[in-house]
Amino acid sequence: MARGVNKVILIGNLGQDPDTRYTPNGNAVVNLNIATDESYKDRQTGQLVPKTEWHRVVMFGKIAEVAGQYLRKGSKVYIEGKLQTRKWQNKEGQDVYTTEVVVDINGQMQMLDSRGSDGGGASQSAPAGRPQQSTPAAQPQNSPPPAQSSGYNQSQPSQGSSMPEPVDDFDDDIPF
Amino acid sequence: MARGVNKVILIGNLGQDPDTRYTPNGNAVVNLNIATDESYKDRQTGQLVPKTEWHRVVMFGKIAEVAGQYLRKGSKVYIEGKLQTRKWQNKEGQDVYTTEVVVDINGQMQMLDSRGSDGGGASQSAPAGRPQQSTPAAQPQNSPPPAQSSGYNQSQPSQGSSMPEPVDDFDDDIPF
Amino acid sequence: MARGVNKVILIGNLGQDPDTRYTPNGNAVVNLNIATDESYKDRQTGQLVPKTEWHRVVMFGKIAEVAGQYLRKGSKVYIEGKLQTRKWQNKEGQDVYTTEVVVDINGQMQMLDSRGSDGGGASQSAPAGRPQQSTPAAQPQNSPPPAQSSGYNQSQPSQGSSMPEPVDDFDDDIPF
Amino acid sequence: MARGVNKVILIGNLGQDPDTRYTPNGNAVVNLNIATDESYKDRQTGQLVPKTEWHRVVMFGKIAEVAGQYLRKGSKVYIEGKLQTRKWQNKEGQDVYTTEVVVDINGQMQMLDSRGSDGGGASQSAPAGRPQQSTPAAQPQNSPPPAQSSGYNQSQPSQGSSMPEPVDDFDDDIPF
DNA sequence: TTTT
DNA sequence: TTTT
């Protein structure tokens, strides 16, 4: 029903492994931090000045499952989503606003590494490798709760699919 | 030099008149608040539930001049820019992060109203109409300073151009 | 399932009324010609040199119905779709290739005129106004058949909906 | 001066090595064929049905030089450009229309392979490797002349740059 | 704070 | 063939 357009397109690399959580009804929600590089040459010195922009990305549904399973720290990825700003309260009770790129059923994701992030070893490394909570970046310090944090749990996998099943058009059940 | 892609595309309406400022060297910097509407029909009630996302947009250069001159509260506009998160300090000395859509020389703007925002009266209303300082919004409450706030002044026009001079292409020498 | 990205974004005006047809099973297929203007100022003469690019656009499903009902010659529209090249045979039996922008269930459309194309008169003019067969254009002269031309008919409306029902995310049944 | 938007975004792989030519004044013009994959699962059989769309891409300027030097058959690439349809005459003197994605100074290119297409060996393979004329694809058979074919030559390099010099931003004076 |  |  949108009477507007709200579109974000990013190509960048993950700053850390995805943070996967699950809604009470078992839907995956994945938080990513994606760096887009815009290093530029200083016109005085001719030096290459590094300039990195960090983006908080939240994924839902089937895309989230694939992302959680196959993306890893350093993975290069294309994502298409929309801008959304959430309000939450820090421990001092102050309103804080966090802007995220939301990738839902209307969004898209493409893994841009040779074949998945780590050559198929995704499933092996996964069991041990998901518990990081690490540096959320982008809006750090008093870092915001993950999107829709109410009652997530971080372990229960929604199902044990083993094939990648590339995503981006799909029939999903998460209401946005 | 970018080794990444960082692109935002919005079509929406201005929540208020543009806030135009000038750098010490006379370059225009315009702040906009753009609403993108994503109202949706509730699947229970069938009611249309309004859902609006607000975006802080900062424009620079020639695009900023055109925007400041022709856009007004309510104007519908297409913009293409990039995501950028700035850190600033609120009066309590706490770090606050504000994410904006930056429209610079690589960005684009298209006015989508019939002919300018207000039927050609833009130039007339402009002389009187620029002095608003108004609510910068989007990440309100302890609202962030406008982008690159150091030493702006809000009156000195960089020059007295009177024709719109549509922007987004630039003087080029490659023949197409 | 795409392992790639194929995306087109256009904002332009219709060169003529939409050409609406229906598949045997009643699904709407709409062909549009959209002009994107890129007029530029000649650097010698300072003259504004008109330069228009014409795009063949094919829409399917609910988007097609809305487009056929509300867009008219001159309407300004935002569309998002994908590139597709079809092969067909001209009357001399030679292969001809036609590239179109396909707007399907993954695409998007936004009408950018004040309120629909013609101020609400859409529904009145529609009953009488759909029978144009007119010049399909863009790759003219031995012009290509409309997309999926096999067995369309141009009259049977798929249903008599009267409200606009804005589109762009939807549950559709046309297989792409 | 554009009063419209005409934007194409592709991520895909080269069907063959780039075809590099030079204008009389030494500017590079590169033609690419890029495949975007949209394989889908057949809903009857459950089989994965391959579906590939081929795109003719024409690049100019510095982007063209980088593309010609570093991209190779199979390279994965992100490009952003605009749609353009050219008219030319086949040997029977008939008008033929060819639609291409033009990547000029307003466009963008990103190489998405690990480090260039072939791990830095680009320069070695280049001297021997540019003379292909091969299958132009997309609008094959009576294939169109390369864009702006008048008087190209395929050998003279515009200069012997050796570093990649990533492109898509340009020397700017606005500080970001 | 906008728009329909 | 549109628009400004």
How far is the C-alpha of C146 from the C-alpha of C154, rounded, in Å? 12
Q: Choose the weakest-confidence range: A76-85, C8-17, D23-32, D131-140.
A: D131-140
Asked if D54 reaches chain A (Cβ–Cβ under 8 Å), the answer is: no
* CA angle, C174 then C12 then D82, to 5°: 85
Q: Chain A partners of C106 at a C-beta cutoff of 8 Å? A: 169
Pairing of strands D76-89, D95-103: antiparallel
Nearest CA in chain D to A12: D112
pLDDT on residue D144: 72
Q: Judge whether C158 is closer than 8 Å to chain D, CB to CB.
A: no
Q: Is A64 helix (H, G, I), strand (E, B) or coil?
A: helix
Question: Mind giving me the DSSP string for A84-148?
Answer: EEEEEE-TTS-EEEEEEEEE-TT-EEEE-SBTBTTTTTHHHHHHHH--------SS-SSPPPPTT
Tokens at residue A159, please?
């199902």
Contact status of B99 with chain A (Cβ, < 8 Å): yes
How close A149 comes to chain D (CA, Å)? 34
Give yes or no for a contact between A24 and A151, defined as CB atoms under 8 angstroms apart.
Answer: yes
Give the integer Cα–Cα distance in Å for B176 and A104: 38
Give the CA A93 to C1' E1 distance in Å.
25
Res. B43 pLDDT band, cuts 50 70 90: confident
- Of the candidates C140, C108, C106, the one whose C-alpha atom is nearest the C-alpha of residue C15 is C140
What's the burial of D8, exposed, middle or buried (CB within 10 Å: 0-12/13-18/19+)? buried
Give the model confidence (pLDDT) of C19-34 as tens digits: 999 999 999 999 999 9
Q: Residues 2-61 of chain C: which lie with beta carbon within 7 Å of strand F?
A: 12-16, 33, 35, 37, 39, 50, 52, 54
Q: Which nucleotide is nearest to B166 (CA to C1')?
A: F4
Q: How far is CA D30 from CA A168, D11, D17, in A?
A: 31, 17, 10
Answer whether residue B28 shows pLDDT above 60: yes
* pLDDT score for B147: 61
Interval A148-174: pLDDT, tens: 544 454 544 434 333 333 343 333 322
Is strand E within 7 Å of residue B33 (CB)? yes
Disruptive mutation site among D65, D78, D174 for chain B (greatest number of B CBs within 10 Å): D174
Long-range contacts at A98-101 (CB < 8 A, ≥ 24 apart): A98/A56, A98/A139, A98/A144, A98/B97, A99/A56, A99/A139, A99/B83, A99/B85, A99/B99, A99/B139, A100/A56, A100/A57, A100/A58, A100/A147, A101/A8, A101/A10, A101/A55, A101/A56, A101/A57, A101/A58, A101/B83
Does B137 contact strand E, using a CB cutoff of 7 Å? Answer: yes
Q: Identify the band that residue B154 occupies on the pLDDT scale cut at 50, 70 and 90.
A: low
pLDDT at C123: 29
Mean pLDDT score, C91-110: 95
Residues ≥6 apart with Cβ < 8 Å to D6: C10, C12, C36, C38, C53, C55, D82, D83
Is B31 near strand E, with its CB below 7 A from some atom of it? no
Q: What is the pLDDT of residues B111-136, one digit of tens each?
A: 999 753 333 333 233 333 333 333 33
* Residue B129: C-alpha distances to residues B18, B68, B77, B149 (Å): 10, 10, 19, 21
**Which pLDDT belongs to residue C47?**
85
Predicted pLDDT at C143: 57
B14 touches strand E (CB under 7 A): yes
Cα torsion for C144, C150, C153, C158, to the nearest 10°?
A: -110
Which of the nucleotides lies closest to C135 (Cα–C1')?
Answer: F1
pLDDT digits (tens, 9 = 90+) for A92-105: 899 999 999 999 99
The answer to whether residue C10 scores a pLDDT higher than 60 is: yes
Q: Binning pLDDT at 50, 70 and 90, where does residue B143 land?
A: low
Q: What is the pLDDT of residue C46?
A: 84
Cβ C169 vs Cβ C61: under 8 Å:
no
C99 sits within 7 Å of strand F by its CB:
no
In this predicted structure, the answer to whether residue B96 has a pLDDT above a threshold of 90 is yes
Q: Which residue is nearest to nucleotide F3 (CA to C1')?
A: C13
Q: How far is CA D2 from CA A21, A40, A152, C10, C49, in A?
A: 45, 28, 48, 12, 11
DSSP strand pairing (C95-103 vs C76-89)? antiparallel
Whether B112 and B77 have beta carbons less than 8 Å apart is answered as: yes
| CA C155 to each of CA A145, B135, C40: distance values in angstroms, whole numbers, following the listed order | 55, 53, 42
- Is C101 in the D-facing interface, judged by CB distances under 8 Å? yes
Q: What is the pLDDT along chain D (176 residues), one digit of tens a residue?
A: 788 999 999 999 999 999 999 999 999 999 999 999 998 889 899 999 989 999 999 999 999 999 999 999 999 999 999 999 999 999 989 999 999 999 999 999 999 997 543 433 332 333 333 333 333 333 444 557 675 544 454 544 434 333 333 333 333 322 22
CATH architecture of B8-38+48-111: Beta Barrel (2.40)
CA distance D100 to D79: 13
Per DSSP, D116 falls in state: B
Q: Straight-line distance from CA C62 to C1' F1, in Å?
A: 25
Average pLDDT over residues C124-139: 34
**Tens digit of each residue's pLDDT (9 = 90 or more) over C38-48:** 988 888 888 88
Res. B48 pLDDT band, cuts 50 70 90: confident
Residue B163 to residue B66: CA distance in whole angstroms? 9
What pLDDT is stored for residue C40 in this prediction?
Answer: 81
The residue written with tokens 């960089």 in the block is: B158
Q: Where are the domains of chain B?
A: 8-38+48-111
Cβ of residue C132 lies below 7 Å from strand F: no
DSSP state of D80: E
Give the whole-angstrom CA distance, residue A100 versus residue A136: 12
> Which among C38, C40, C112 has the least Cβ separation from residue B112?
C112
Give every CB contact of residue D107 below 8 A, 6+ residues apart in sequence: D59, D63, D79, D80, D81, D82, D168
Nearest chain B CA: its distance from D167 CA (Å): 5
Q: Which residues contact B45 (CB under 8 A, 6 or more apart)?
A: none
Per-residue pLDDT, averaged over C153-165, amounts to 41
CA angle A100, A103, A105 (to 5 degrees): 145
Percent of chain B clearing pLDDT 70 (strictly above): 65
Question: What is the structure's pLDDT at B2?
Answer: 82
Residues of C in contact with B79 (CB under 8 A): none
Name which of B41, B38, B43, B20 is nearest B30 in CA terms.
Answer: B20
Mean pLDDT for the stretch of residues C74-89? 97
What average pLDDT does this structure show over C88-99?
Answer: 93
Q: What are phi and psi of C126, to 5 degrees?
A: -65, -55
CA distance B152 to B42: 46
What pLDDT score does B119 carry? 34
Using left for φ > 0, alpha for ψ between -120 and 50, and beta otherwise, residue C68 falls in alpha
Which residue is it, tokens 């970046």?
Answer: A137
The tens digit of pLDDT for each residue in D36-67 reads 999 888 989 999 998 999 999 999 999 999 99
CA–C1' D27–E3 (A)? 47
